[in-house]
């Protein structure tokens, strides 16, 4: 994966694997980004799962983005992608999503799936820009705020 630092974020490295030491920062970022935040315990479980890939983006020593995806057989499922509000619209979501898709392709995946709040226009646009297309809708999937989930899919080329 080639990484070009988003505007104003010089020194940003590629997403790195999360560790147990990162759990407080991960939970804080998640709580700042989602109405249904995951707990430290949930993220600790993700770290223990051999098929779960939890990655972080850091800028100036602070966690500013995360992704969590499962790679199982020939499929990856994106569970979480988040960036802090102060650095949104600067390409970090693209960096994280590109890393997830590259890792999935390298693992031999041919399918990528995710759910996204139907009303989350910026996220839907990001996924569409990466070739994801809606394949279903889950009515009332999200509670905070209430919204349907779009189920989105794209094909991958295994590396």
Residue 57: predicted pLDDT: 95
pLDDT tens column, 68-110: 999 999 999 999 999 988 888 878 999 999 999 999 999 999 9
Residue 119: pLDDT band (50, 70, 90) is: very high
Residue 5: predicted pLDDT: 46
More confident call, 62 vs 134:
134
Mean pLDDT over each residue of the chain, to the nearest integer = 91
Closest CA to 38 of 54, 50, 51, 17: 54
Examine the pLDDT at 36 and tell me if it is beyond 90: no
Domain coordinates in residue numbering, the chain: 16-155
Name the class of domain 16-155. alpha beta
- pTM score of the predicted model: 0.89
């Amino acid at each position: 994966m080639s990484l070009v630092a988003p505007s104003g974020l010089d020194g940003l490295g590629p997403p790195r694997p999360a560790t147990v030491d990162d759990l407080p920062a991960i939970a804080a970022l998640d709580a700042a980004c989602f109405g249904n935040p995951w707990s430290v315990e949930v993220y600790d479980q993700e770290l223990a799962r051999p098929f779960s890939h939890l990655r972080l983006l850091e800028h100036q020593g602070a966690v500013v983005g995360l992704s969590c995806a499962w790679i199982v057989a020939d499929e990856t499922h994106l569970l979480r992608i988040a960036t802090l509000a102060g650095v949104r619209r600067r390409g970090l979501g693209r960096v994280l999503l590109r890393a997830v898709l590259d890792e999935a392709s390298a693992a031999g995946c041919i399918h990528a799936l995710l759910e996204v709040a139907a009303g989350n226009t910026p996220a839907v646009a990001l996924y569409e820009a990466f070739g994801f297309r809606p394949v279903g809708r889950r009515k009332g999937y999200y509670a905070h705020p209430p919204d349907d989930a779009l189920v989105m899919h794209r094909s991958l080329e295994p590396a």
